[in-house]
């Protein structure tokens, strides 16, 4: 068959084309696929934005309206329930996408399907004033979201060579930064109309999947050999790696603790600004917007350069260690200075730290995988660290606020978690 060079630099039907032990079928990895880069950037912006804007701003605002006396406990509870569900969903959807054979490839059906389900769930949540229904719609949203996340992250392993992974990871991380910051600005502007904000986020979630399929379609893989989808195969997706997995678990623990430390603060930013610092809703919205702009600018400046720099230096560890420590330093400011400027300084440190971490994180994750043939499954396990952090962070804050009657202890706890994250990254051996 003649070699065809088109959108994906196809190189015939050679199923043995590999790079760094990753089988990629017809996709050439000899150069950077800019359409894939654009799709990953937009995909990250459009799925992380609605999530951060909802869990950090609009969901607390909605629960404050529905049940003001129980809002702190409810935010913690909805975060825990959703995150526990995500622990399972991320692994299962990652494993299912590994064995999927379709005209849209392995990942495409799950990215698009997850976007549709997530959009429907956010729209449904915008229509209710019932706490049980808020929980139900949030759980459905988490299912759809994790179908997107597990599959989109695996695309980097499938279709990007080691040579470019730091750069592509940086682009994906920049998407996180932009989406997170813009979602907070948008969410803050809808504090008094959370339902309208949720509808907007539903449309963004839908767009995350649609644009990916249109800009960087994977192509059919129906002719590829692969495992049959069986109950045993799904159960096997929960099997933890055992051989050569030391660094894998260190990376997982570090990521888990870093996310827990961050979410211990950001999930409660609205209540920190109103109940701890003493601002009214309008002023709190203004500070959230300012902090989001700062996070966006600092994250972009430091995030854009960190991935390519890590490629050039051949190092990942110094970047993730420094990012965890910097966010920990940031947590000190609102703890000792319960003023708006204290929270702004936290935003500066968090923006820089998360910018660096997001740009290098996926490259480090891929390079500590013990088995490249089960990339999506094992990346799903690493992504469990994100959802696991979302469990611990809100629970720690909720417990400490109830136990102490304030937020200062939660800042100290966040700092301890973040320092612990840095200590987990230090002993990793596979990655410098």
pLDDT at residue 72 tops 50: yes
C-alpha 23/C-alpha 393 separation (Å) is 37
Q: Which uninterrupted H or E stretch holds 18?
A: strand 18-19
pLDDT in tens, 254-274: 999 998 998 889 878 888 999
Distances (CA, A) of 82 to 56, 90, 114, 141, 327: 14, 12, 15, 9, 25
Whether 306 contacts 355, CB under 8 Å: yes
Which of left, alpha, beta for 101 (phi over 0: left; psi -120 to 50: alpha)? beta
Most confident of 6-20, 57-71, 77-91, 389-403: 57-71
pLDDT at residue 393 tops 90: no
pLDDT at residue 64 tops 80: yes
pLDDT band per the 50, 70, 90 thresholds, residue 16? very low
Higher model confidence: residue 150 or residue 166? 150
Give residue 87's pLDDT.
77
Q: Which of the residue ranges 44-48, 51-55, 166-170, 188-192 would you say has the lowest mean pLDDT? A: 166-170
Give domain limits for the chain: 1-31, 32-425
pLDDT in tens, 79-98: 778 878 887 887 788 778 87
Which pair of tokens denotes residue 195? 């339902």
Give residue 267's pLDDT.
79
Report percent pLDDT > 90 for the chain: 35
C-alpha 315/C-alpha 294 separation (Å) is 27
Average pLDDT, the chain: 82
pLDDT at residue 139 tops 90: yes
Q: 3-state SS of the chain: helix, strand, coil percent to 5?
A: 75, 0, 20
pLDDT band per the 50, 70, 90 thresholds, residue 225? low
Give residue 117's pLDDT.
97
Most confident of 86-95, 134-143, 353-362, 404-413: 134-143
Q: Any idea what the Cα angle at residue 275 is, between residues 68 and 284, rounded to 5°?
A: 95
Q: Which of the residue ranges 38-47, 51-60, 305-314 would you say has the lowest mean pLDDT? A: 305-314
Q: Any idea what the Cα angle at residue 259 is, between residues 255 and 261, rounded to 5°?
A: 120
pLDDT at residue 134 tops 90: yes
pLDDT in tens, 345-383: 999 999 899 888 877 887 788 788 776 666 666 776 777
Give residue 106's pLDDT.
85
pLDDT at residue 8 tops 50: no
Strand partners, 149: none
* pTM recorded for the entire structure: 0.72
Give residue 168's pLDDT.
81
Q: Which uninterrupted H or E stretch holds 224?
A: none
pLDDT band per the 50, 70, 90 thresholds, residue 125? very high
In sequence order, the 6+-apart residues with CB closer than 8 A to the CB of 423 are none
C-alpha 190/C-alpha 42 separation (Å) is 23
pLDDT band per the 50, 70, 90 thresholds, residue 7? very low
Fold classified for 32-425: Growth Hormone; Chain: A; (1.20.1250)
pLDDT in tens, 283-295: 988 999 899 889 8
Strand partners, 13: 11
């Amino acid at each position: 068959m003649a070699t065809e060079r088109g959108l994906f630099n196809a190189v015939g039907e050679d199923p043995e084309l590999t790079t760094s032990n990753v089988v990629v079928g017809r996709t050439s990895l000899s150069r950077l696929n800019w359409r894939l880069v654009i799709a990953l950037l937009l995909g990250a912006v459009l799925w992380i934005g609605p999530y951060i804007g909802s869990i950090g701003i609009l969901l607390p605002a909605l629960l404050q309206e529905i049940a003001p006396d129980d809002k702190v406990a409810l935010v913690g509870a909805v975060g825990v329930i959703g995150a526990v569900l995500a622990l399972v969903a991320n692994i299962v959807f990652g494993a299912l996408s590994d064995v999927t054979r379709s005209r849209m490839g392995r990942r495409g059906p799950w990215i698009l399907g997850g976007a549709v389900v997530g959009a429907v769930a956010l729209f449904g949540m915008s229509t209710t004033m019932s706490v049980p229904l808020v929980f139900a719609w949030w759980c459905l949203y988490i299912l759809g979201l994790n179908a997107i996340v597990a599959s989109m992250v695996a695309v980097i392993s499938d279709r990007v060579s080691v040579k470019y992974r730091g750069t592509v990871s940086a682009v994906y991380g920049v998407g996180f930064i932009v989406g997170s910051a813009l979602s907070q600005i948008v969410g803050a502007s809808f504090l008094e109309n959370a339902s309208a904000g949720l509808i907007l986020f539903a449309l963004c979630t839908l767009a995350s999947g649609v644009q990916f399929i249109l800009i960087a379609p994977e192509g059919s893989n129906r002719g590829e050999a692969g495992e049959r989808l069986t109950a045993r195969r799904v159960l096997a997706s929960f099997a933890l790696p055992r051989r050569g997995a030391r660094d894998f678990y260190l990376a997982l623990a570090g990521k888990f603790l870093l996310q827990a430390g961050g979410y211990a603060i950001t999930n409660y930013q609205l209540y920190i600004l109103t109940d701890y610092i003493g601002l009214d809703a309008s002023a709190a919205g203004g500070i959230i917007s300012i902090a989001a702009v700062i996070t966006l600018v600092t994250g972009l400046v430091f995030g854009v350069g960190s991935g390519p720099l890590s490629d050039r230096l051949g190092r990942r560890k110094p970047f993730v260690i420094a990012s965890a420590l910097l966010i920990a330093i940031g947590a000190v400011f609102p703890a000792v200075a319960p003023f708006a400027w204290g929270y702004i300084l936290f935003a500066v440190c968090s923006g820089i730290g998360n910018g660096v971490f997001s740009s290098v994180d996926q490259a480090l994750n891929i390079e500590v995988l013990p088995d490249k043939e089960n990339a999506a499954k094992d990346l799903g396990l690493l992504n469990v660290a994100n959802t696991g952090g979302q469990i611990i962070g809100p629970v720690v804050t909720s417990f400490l606020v109830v136990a102490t009657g304030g937020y200062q202890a939660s800042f100290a706890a966040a700092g301890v978690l973040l320092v612990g994250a840095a200590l987990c990254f230090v002993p990793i051996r596979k990655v410098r």
